[in-house]
C-alpha cells in the first residue's frame, strides 16, 4: 500500500523507519519530513493546514493510508477531511482528538464514565480560579486547557507560584493566551505511559514506556516535551496494565463511541500509579515523543498492516501486537536554551558513527548545504537496545558519546528509577 506520513519530528522519524520495514508497504511519502525521514520516504512539501492540498496529493499519488503523527493536524480536523474523500486514516477525528485538545473535556469525560483521575476544577476566569485554589492543598497542578506541546503544565509548590502560573496563563504568555484552565490535585506515585490501539470499538495494548519530562537531572527544572524514555516500563506490571486497560482505556473508548465520536488511532494514556491504583493524568491522541523512539525498535510486526487495520475498523482481525523482550532506552540531545528559546544552527556530526551502536532519530535538525544543523529544541533522540535495561541504556549513552554537537545538552540519568528499582 502507499502511505503518507504527516509530521517531521523524532516521532515521525521512528515511525518512518519502522513503516519502511513493513512487507505490506509499497511507497512511503512524508510531509514535511526531515533529513532522517528522507532516508525512508519521499519528502513532499505540503501545507498541512490546507486540507484540500493534502487531499489532492493523496488522490494524485494513490495514497491508501494517511498516518498522522503530530497533535496539531488532528485537533485541526485533517482526519475528517481525508475520510470525507474515502481515504483511510490512522488518527482520530477532530471531535475525538478533543481528548488531547481539551484537558477540561477529558476530565469531564472521566467524571461521566467513572474513570479514576485526580480531583479537579475548571475555570475560564482568573478571579474565579484564584478563589478556586483554596479547594486544593500544595503542591497543586495547573494546566492550560489547550495544546501546549507538552509544556502547559505547572506544578506549584507554593501559593505564590500557583498565583503566578494563573496570571501567566490567563495573561496570554503561555499557549498563545488561554481562556480556560484546569486545576488538579497533585497525585503521588510513579508516572508511566501506556499506549493502546483502537479502531473505535476494539482496543489492544500497544506497549509501555516511562518518559522524563523535566529538563534537569533528578527530574528537576522546567517541563519539556520529553528528555528521554525507556521501554518497557517495568513498574507497570502486567496486572497493573490490565487494570489500567479495564478501568481507564476501555471505558474511554466506549464513552467516545457512545457519544458518536469514536476514537480511531493510538490512545496514549499518561498514568500515575498511586496507592489507590492507576489514575489518568491526561490523554494524548497520538504517539508520544520520545516514547515512539523506544516503542518502534521493540515492535515486531508489520506496522503498516496494523495501522491500516485500525483505520479500516478491522483491528479484531489482527493478531495481538508483539514486542521484543529486549529493552530500549532513548536519550534526547537538546539545543542550548531549550526549553526556552533554543539556539539554532549548531553543526551536528557523527551520526553514522553513532548509528553503529545505537539508532539516531532526527527531531529538530535540517540540512544546511551539505551539513546537518540544529533547527529546534529537541535535536536528536539516540536510542539504544539490549537484552537488559543496563545494556540498552549503556548503548544509548555510547551513541551520544560518538556525536559532536557544540553546546548540546542531555540528561545523564535517563532511566534512573529503573536503575534504582530493587531487582527480584
Of the candidates 332, 322, 327, 301, the one whose C-alpha atom is nearest the C-alpha of residue 232 is 327
The H or E element containing residue 196 is strand 190-199
Q: What is the pLDDT of residue 149?
A: 52
Report residue 53: phi and psi, to 5°: -65, -40
Q: Which of 299, 301, 116 is nearest to 208 (CA)?
A: 299
Spatial distance between the Cα atoms of 261 and 77, rounded to a whole number of angstroms: 13
pLDDT tens, N- to C-terminus, the chain (424 residues): 999 999 999 999 999 999 999 999 999 999 999 999 999 999 999 999 999 999 999 999 999 999 999 999 999 999 999 999 999 999 999 999 999 999 999 999 999 999 999 999 999 999 999 999 999 999 999 998 877 655 578 999 999 999 999 998 888 544 444 478 999 999 999 999 999 999 999 999 999 999 999 999 999 998 899 999 999 999 999 999 999 999 999 999 999 999 999 999 999 999 999 999 999 999 999 999 999 999 999 999 999 999 999 999 999 999 999 999 999 999 999 999 999 999 999 999 999 999 999 999 999 999 999 999 999 999 999 999 999 999 999 999 999 999 999 999 999 999 999 999 887 5
CB 253 within 8 A of CB 405: no
User: Residue 178 has what pLDDT?
Assistant: 47
**Does an H or E element contain 113, and which?**
helix 103-113
- Give me the pLDDT at residue 173, please: 47
Residue 177, pLDDT score? 47
HSE of 127 in the Cβ direction (CA atoms, 13 Å)? Answer: 0
pLDDT score recorded for residue 59:
98
Q: Which residues neighbour 134 within 8 Å (Cβ) at sequence distance 6 or greater?
A: none
Position 146 scores a pLDDT of 75
Concatenate the DSSP letters of all residues of 199-243 into one string.
ESS-EEEEEEEEE--EEETTTEEEE-S-SEEEES-TTS-HHHHHH
H or E segment and range at residue 279: strand 277-284
Identify the pLDDT of residue 175: 45
Q: pTM of the entire structure?
A: 0.95
Q: What is the pLDDT of residue 148?
A: 60
Q: For strand 203-211 and strand 228-231, is the pairing parallel, antiparallel, or unpaired? A: antiparallel
Question: Around Cβ 138, how many Cβ atoms within 10 Å?
Answer: 13
Amino acid at each position: 500500500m502507499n502511505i503518507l506520513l504527516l509530521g517531521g519530528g523524532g516521532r515521525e522519524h521512528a515511525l518512518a523507519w519502522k513503516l519502511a520495514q513493513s512487507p505490506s508497504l509499497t511507497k512511503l511519502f512524508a510531509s514535511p519530513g526531515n533529513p532522517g525521514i528522507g532516508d525512508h520516504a519521499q519528502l513532499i512539501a505540503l501545507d498541512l493546514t490546507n486540507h484540500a492540498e493534502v487531499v489532492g496529493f493523496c488522490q494524485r499519488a494513490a495514497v491508501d493510508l494517511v498516518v498522522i503523527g503530530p497533535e496539531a493536524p488532528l485537533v485541526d480536523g485533517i482526519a475528517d477531511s481525508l475520510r470525507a474523500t474515502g481515504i483511510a486514516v490512522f488518527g482520530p477525528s477532530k471531535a475525538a482528538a478533543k481528548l488531547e485538545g481539551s484537558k477540561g473535556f477529558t476530565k469531564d469525560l472521566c467524571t461521566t464514565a467513572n474513570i479514576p483521575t485526580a480531583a479537579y476544577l475548571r475555570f475560564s476566569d482568573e478571579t474565579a480560579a484564584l478563589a478556586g485554589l483554596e479547594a486544593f492543598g500544595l503542591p497543586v497542578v495547573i494546566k492550560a486547557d489547550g495544546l501546549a506541546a507538552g509544556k502547559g503544565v505547572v506544578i506549584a509548590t507554593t501559593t505564590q507560584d500557583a498565583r503566578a502560573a494563573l496570571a501567566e496563563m490567563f495573561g496570554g504568555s503561555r499557549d498563545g493566551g488561554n481562556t480556560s484552565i484546569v486545576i488538579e490535585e497533585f497525585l503521588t506515585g510513579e508516572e508511566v505511559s501506556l499506549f493502546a490501539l483502537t479502531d473505535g470499538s476494539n482496543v489492544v495494548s500497544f506497549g509501555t514506556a516511562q518518559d522524563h519530562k523535566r529538563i534537569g537531572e533528578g527530574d528537576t527544572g522546567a517541563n519539556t516535551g520529553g528528555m528521554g524514555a525507556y521501554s518497557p516500563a517495568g513498574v507497570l506490571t502486567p496486572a497493573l496494565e490490565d487494570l489500567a486497560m479495564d478501568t481507564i482505556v476501555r471505558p474511554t473508548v466506549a464513552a467516545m463511541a457512545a457519544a458518536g465520536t469514536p476514537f480511531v488511532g493510538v490512545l496514549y494514556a499518561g498514568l500515575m500509579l498511586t496507592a489507590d491504583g492507576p489514575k489518568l493524568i491526561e490523554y494524548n491522541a497520538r504517539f508520544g515523543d520520545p516514547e515512539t523512539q523506544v516503542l518502534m525498535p521493540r515492535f515486531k510486526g508489520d506496522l503498516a498492516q496494523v495501522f491500516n487495520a485500525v483505520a479500516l475498523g478491522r483491528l479484531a482481525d489482527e493478531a495481538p501486537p508483539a514486542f521484543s523482550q529486549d529493552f530500549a532506552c532513548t536519550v534526547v540531545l537538546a539545543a542550548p536554551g531549550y526549553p526556552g528559546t533554543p539556539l539554532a544552527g549548531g553543526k551536528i556530526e557523527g551520526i553514522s558513527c553513532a548509528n553503529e551502536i545505537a539508532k539516531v532519530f532526527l527531531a529538530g535538525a535540517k540540512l544546511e548545504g551539505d551539513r546537518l544543523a540544529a533547527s529546534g529544541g529537541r535535536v536528536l533522540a539516540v536510542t539504544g537496545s539490549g537484552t537488559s535495561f543496563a545494556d540498552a541504556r549503556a548503548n544509548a549513552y555510547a551513541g551520544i558519546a560518538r556525536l559532536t554537537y557544540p553546546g548540546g545538552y542531555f540528561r545523564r540519568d535517563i532511566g534512573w528509577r529503573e536503575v534504582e528499582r530493587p531487582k527480584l
